[in-house]
Structure 1
Amino acid sequence: MSVGDATARPCDEEGNFLPEGTPPGRAETRILGDWTPYNSQDEFELADLLFTRAEMSHGQVDELMQIWAARAAREGATTAFTDSKDLHDTIDAIEEGDAPWYSFRVGYNGTHPQGPVPSWMDDSYQVFYRDPRQVMRMFLSNHKFDGNFDYVPYREYENNERKWGDFMSGNFGWKQAQDLIAEDKRTHGSTLITLLSGSDKTTVSVATGQNDYYPLYLSIGNITNQIQQGHEDCVVVIGFLAIPKCEREHEKSDAFRNFCQELFHSSLTTILEPIRSAIETPEVVRCPDGHFRRVVYSLGPYIADYPEQVLLSGIVSGWCPKCTAHSRDLDGDSSPRSTQLTDLLCSSFSSTELWDEYGIAVNVHRPFTNNFPRANIHELLSCDLLHQVIKGTFKDHLVTWVEDYLKKKHGKAGAARIMSDIDRRIGIAPLYPGLRRFKKGRGFNQWTGNNSKALMKVWLPAIEGYVPRDMIRAISAFLDFCYLVRHPTITQRTLQDIQDALDRFHRYRSIFQRTGVRKLGSKGFSLPRQHALKHYIEHIIAFGAPNGLCSSITELMHIRAVKKPWRRSSRLKALEQILLTNQRLSKLSAIRRSFEQCGMSQDDCHTAALKEVGLDAPETEPNPNTTDGVMNKNDDCGPVGGPQVLNHVVLARRKAPRSPKDINGLTRFIGHDMMVLVRCFLFDQKYPESEIPGSDVSLNLCPRFSGAISVYHSAVATYYAPSDISGVGGMYREQIRATPVWNRGESSVPRYDCVLVQVCPEDDGFRSMQAACVRLLSSIKHKDKTIPCALVEWYETVGNAPDDTIGMWVVKPEYTGNRQRQLEALQRVATVVHLDSVVRGIHLIPVYRKQQISQKHAYSTTLDDFKQFYINKYIDYHAFETVY
């Protein structure tokens, strides 16, 4: 269902609508084989390798070219580039992706005080920016977005239930299209393009006499969330905003604060000014599918941390930028803020009343959005999972409050002993792909977003037994909220679950007041970042799933656009070098797309050269551990490209060296009767419909086995996980390991990962699966058929529902024989299963409760040393969606 007049009709370059079914015109401006400004494919690939991927310094490029020139002189050949200047000049000659940098200066133009004048009043501040209109044209002409680009706002339903996912599925785009396109005949048939903005303050220069800056990023809401998370061309830096400096005595003066706010808003207004005319009057641009369309722009969500939200919205710090809730009772009754409401209040009350009762800072510069049509800054401020949920509520609030509780109850010395034990619990968590191992617990010199995310995965079981049950329930409810709002597609039922998790969190967090950690009454929880959780449902309804609008995306871009260019700069006039590096990266990325669009980069340069001289390209064996070069074969996990599949597990490319080659040797090696287990497995394969499993039938009825068996130390599980940082198609991969030697050369220990095995496909969630530890990965050759399989030791589920306090399923090792005997005398229940029945890996974390951990306990023996384990649904977002 889409807005009636926002039809995104194709047109010609003059804006004349085309008949339905007209194919797009050809966008390529070069002929096949034209590598200009390069002479050949290998020259371009070399330039891209040296500048984009290797990030080689000027001196290293010069040295490489000198070595190459020496060899070329002996062979009568030439080098691709004479030196680094030649390399960079050729990149600068690229016409594609050329969005040059401009700058303007801003200074204080107010009244100077009598006597000494603060230095900041006499300084001028330089702001760098790119033309956003030109950047938008680059965005929209990117054919890589074709198929993942929403041209019209829409509402999606399934079984009469509303669904929200990508940005254009939300009400914001729908309302913008109704307010403009449906009401203005000049815009009928146009495409609505929504600009997404974000800023992230950083220091880019140290001790070089320059000012500090922070980058301003731009993207568009029409790109699907999967592309937003998995494609580096989706976000571009379009500006570096100035940060004025002053003497410490003036830092808190009203004049200086007001100037900083005016500088910020006036800079944003100036940078975005070129886009203003196209907000109401359509302009013709080429779109990802190759068609021209008439487009109108709209300012969309702005991604910022709370201090910047205060700066953007003109409120008093401590208040909410989105609603009128009082700072002393942020979770109390309120109404939405708006520009119109602010104007009305400002005309009705004094500045003191506005400050004290409504949180409006009347003396600050008006928001930059006031200068653009259909823009309400309070509506546009986006929720931010990283700063509000992960760093804010989790790290700054809950982790701190638990520590405060322990100090109140046990004193500083007693709390220190308990926190040391909690650290040891965290430190012995079993290994898992992508999980940071906290060797010394959670004591960091500097907390980062990644540290907080990693701690969220293992912290809750580690504090159990040391805090009241309601604290566990409160934190579990909060984590549920955090993981629910990361869903790629959110239904009305999901919204109910989100609200339920938030209500449970609000209900159980009162334990922190009852134990004296927080003040009694509404003031105890009047925290802006935590209060922001109340606005997530309205955010989802307006803007779609929050994982498409998160500062985690801009922080990844921050590394590429600021940190890496800074490291490769000479530190002298570093900002100018950062700008130039970004421009060159844009050019190389754009020209690669141009080559690909013309069909000129289908082969690597070596294969292309062999074909050019009439030779056959060498055959290469496909590597199942990599797809599209996203995940390296040595990585434990990571995003990958490729087609969408629910889940798929394949054995590693190489067989395990020095492993037993016969089944009797494997029996001695693994400690289970492999002949019996393999024959039972073959029975299950021969009679898949049998109600009796092979393990329960007489061995005489099982097929005999005399074939070969090969052992592998790892397998790769690939599954659809768009909630996690996945590839363009939403796919993610992780290694599953079963090896007697791990971390060779450091502290060699065995590693046997745990997995989820599908056992009851007719059930949902964890009830359809069973947890198991992989003891052997192998392929069996039986009657000319090779079958990939795994020997697993099973865990049996404790109870028929998740634990009612912590909210996770509990399992324990399953043993054979008399259960009254000592566990050491029993044998684990083991089965050989087909690799296709393995859903994915899973993380098991011990049920610690009151058990204290020895300082000598090793993480490598954790799975053997505890009687019960939680199925860790918080290990990643896909697990949370799978093991409910």
Structure 2
Amino acid sequence: MRLPIGSTCAPIILSSDKTRLSQQRGDKTAWPVYLTIGNIEKGTRKKASSHVTILLSYLLTPKLDCFSEAARSVTKYRLFHYCMGLIMQSLAHTGNNGVQMTCPDGFLRKVHPILAAYVADYPEQCLVACCMENRCPECKVLPTERGKHCLHAKRAVKETLDYIQRYQQERKNPQFKHEFEKTLGLRPVPPFWAGLPHTDIFEAFTPDILHQLHKGVFKDHLVSWCTTVIEKEMDARFRSMPSHPDVRHFKHGISMVSQWNGGEHKEMEKVFAGLMAGHAEPAVIKTATAVVNFIHLSSLECHTTRSLAVMDSALDTFHENKAIFLELGARAQGHFNIPKIHSMEHYTPKIRLFGSADEFNTEAPERLHINYAKEGYRASNKKDYIA
């Protein structure tokens, strides 16, 4: 990217996340969009109390009951991109033309804000990328090949926009429709990021440790498989753990808890590989250890080439031994074409591109929901609460 002499770039980090406002009953939701900039020190940006992340807008959250079930999904995509397009108009204008600003060194420079990173969970990444919900928002992997341990061709902005623009004229062409829907898995929706300068939205997606690893790969899949392998022994082992000041004691086990948060997942990961020892086949223990190691390494606050090589090695070990869960009947579906497991392939390339993944974790937007959505809702009369 080339800017005029005397100009500089301000990397913009966006995040959006729909959240529930009502806890016990009702279906009240809010959909905040947050903005911060990349040249703020990571430790400062991670603290909600530092106020370096601002609320841009609340997106609409209609039920869309007036549409058929088939049309509802595409309509949701169109509404999202239309609203984000309105919000991003000023960013597109200043990104192209720049704006005069006084920098910390006292010099006046023309600053071009450029969308550099987008923090979101998997469903919203698909929404932003204009791809179907069973596709990877970053690469062209087919749904039936997500369980393979390899990198696939990246999605390209120019190619994607070209296919979306041609859709209305060529949608009745069987070959074009097959490429559009089956090969690329796209939605016919004009994307809000089409007019943003120097933005590769598919490169902008950041790793999501909370939803992809803690809640997804670990809790939803690995714990479920290992519990099936050792049956009722899992709860007994959690209950019999000795007390330690740095380790949480799950005195009632884990099977009866219906909802977990990120902190509880992390506490389980500290002891999980040790609890499996002596009561499962070596391949099961090896696979579980590899997953836990990968999660811990991905959460590091800084990385070296050695730490990234160890991450890659842990991922290699998982894929080499994962078939044991099929052999033991713990994974009934007979395959590992799971979006959140496939997302692990993108972690080390994204860490090399953006830096450590902990600064882009969706735990930060989850914390901001308290200040910018939930506290206001609870203090209101629950009517016209967005206003």
| TM-score with structure 1 setting the length | 0.40
Cα offset, 1:551, TM superposition? 0.5
Instruction: Encode CA deviations 1:286-307: one digit per residue, 9 max, x unaligned.
Output: 3455654321110111111111
Instruction: Identify the residue that residue 386 of structure 1 maps to in structure 2.
Output: 210
Q: Distance in 2 between matches of 1:519 and 1:550?
A: 31
Cα pair 2:291 2:318 within 8 Å, conserved: yes
Cα pair 1:189 1:294 within 8 Å, conserved: yes
Cα offset, 1:420, TM superposition? 3.2
Instruction: Identify the residue that residue 441 of structure 1 maps to in structure 2.
Output: 253
Q: Distance in 2 between matches of 1:421 and 1:211?
A: 39
CA pair 292-204 structure 1, distance change in 2 beyond 3 A:
farther
Alignment of 1:725-744 (within 5 A): none
**3-state SS of paired residue (2:335):** helix
Instruction: Identify the residue that residue 553 of structure 1 maps to in structure 2.
Output: 364
CA pair 281-334 structure 1, distance change in 2 beyond 3 A:
same
Alignment of 1:692-771 (within 5 A): none
Q: Distance in 2 between matches of 1:498 and 1:446?
A: 29
Instruction: Identify the residue that residue 84 of structure 2 maps to in structure 1.
Output: 268
Cα offset, 1:344, TM superposition? 5.4
AA aligned to 1:339 is: V
CA pair 357-236 structure 1, distance change in 2 beyond 3 A:
same
Instruction: Identify the residue that residue 325 of structure 1 maps to in structure 2.
Output: 141
Q: Is residue 236 from structure 1 mapped to residue 236 from structure 2 by the alignment? A: no
Q: Distance in 1 between matches of 2:335 and 2:25?
A: 45
Which one of the candidate residues 120, 124, 128 is aligned to 1:312? 128
Structure with more of its chain in helix, by fraction: 2
CA pair 191-343 structure 1, distance change in 2 beyond 3 A:
closer
Q: Distance in 1 between matches of 2:196 and 2:210?
A: 28
Which one of the candidate residues 487, 493, 496 is aligned to 2:300? 487
AA aligned to 2:39 is: N
Cα offset, 1:370, TM superposition? 0.9
Structure with more of its chain in strand, by fraction: 1
Instruction: Identify the residue that residue 204 of structure 1 maps to in structure 2.
Output: 21
CA pair 564-324 structure 1, distance change in 2 beyond 3 A:
same
CA pair 516-310 structure 1, distance change in 2 beyond 3 A:
same
Which one of the candidate residues 351, 355, 369 is aligned to 2:177? 351
**3-state SS of paired residue (1:192):** strand
AA aligned to 1:564 is: E
Aligned residues: CA RMSD = 2.6
Instruction: Identify the residue that residue 224 of structure 1 maps to in structure 2.
Output: 41
Q: Distance in 1 between matches of 2:198 and 2:279?
A: 52
Cα offset, 1:468, TM superposition? 1.3
AA aligned to 2:83 is: S
Cα pair 1:199 1:304 within 8 Å, conserved: yes
Cα pair 2:8 2:111 within 8 Å, conserved: yes
Which one of the candidate residues 380, 384, 387 is aligned to 1:569? 380
Q: Is residue 369 from structure 1 mapped to residue 193 from structure 2 by the alignment? A: yes
Cα offset, 1:282, TM superposition? 2.4
Instruction: Identify the residue that residue 653 of structure 1 maps to in structure 2.
Output: none
Which one of the candidate residues 165, 176, 180 is aligned to 2:2? 180
Q: Is residue 296 from structure 1 mapped to residue 296 from structure 2 by the alignment? A: no
Cα offset, 1:535, TM superposition? 0.5
AA aligned to 1:488 is: E
Which has more radius of gyration? Answer: 1
Cα pair 1:210 1:573 within 8 Å, conserved: no
Q: Distance in 2 between matches of 1:227 and 1:405?
A: 43
Which one of the candidate residues 316, 326, 334 is aligned to 2:152? 334
Cα offset, 1:398, TM superposition? 0.3
Q: Distance in 1 between matches of 2:262 and 2:377?
A: 21
**3-state SS of paired residue (2:35):** strand
Cα offset, 1:258, TM superposition? 1.6
Alignment of 1:137-176 (within 5 A): none
Q: Give the unaligned 5+ runs of structure 2.
A: none
Q: Is residue 396 from structure 1 mapped to residue 232 from structure 2 by the alignment? A: no
Which one of the candidate residues 311, 325, 330 is aligned to 1:498? 311
Q: Distance in 2 between matches of 1:212 and 1:552?
A: 18
Cα pair 2:16 2:34 within 8 Å, conserved: yes
Cα pair 1:384 1:551 within 8 Å, conserved: yes
CA pair 327-277 structure 1, distance change in 2 beyond 3 A:
same
Identity %: 28
Instruction: Identify the residue that residue 619 of structure 1 maps to in structure 2.
Output: none
CA pair 461-250 structure 1, distance change in 2 beyond 3 A:
farther
Cα offset, 1:467, TM superposition? 1.8
Q: Distance in 1 between matches of 2:126 and 2:294?
A: 25
Instruction: Identify the residue that residue 348 of structure 2 maps to in structure 1.
Output: 537
Q: Distance in 1 between matches of 2:211 and 2:181?
A: 25
**3-state SS of paired residue (2:223):** helix
Q: Distance in 2 between matches of 1:494 and 1:378?
A: 25
Give the total of aligned pairs: 375
Instruction: Encode CA deviations 1:342-375: one digit per residue, 9 max, x unaligned.
Output: 24566694324432233223x3x13211121222
Q: Distance in 2 between matches of 1:448 and 1:491?
A: 29
Instruction: Identify the residue that residue 430 of structure 1 maps to in structure 2.
Output: 243
CA pair 207-458 structure 1, distance change in 2 beyond 3 A:
closer
Instruction: Identify the residue that residue 100 of structure 2 maps to in structure 1.
Output: 284
Q: Distance in 1 between matches of 2:77 and 2:17?
A: 16
Instruction: Encode CA deviations 1:423-474: one digit per residue, 9 max, x unaligned.
Output: 313xx342324x4432212231312222222221222222322221211111
Cα offset, 1:323, TM superposition? 0.8
Instruction: Identify the residue that residue 873 of structure 1 maps to in structure 2.
Output: none
Cα pair 2:20 2:27 within 8 Å, conserved: no
CA pair 250-492 structure 1, distance change in 2 beyond 3 A:
same
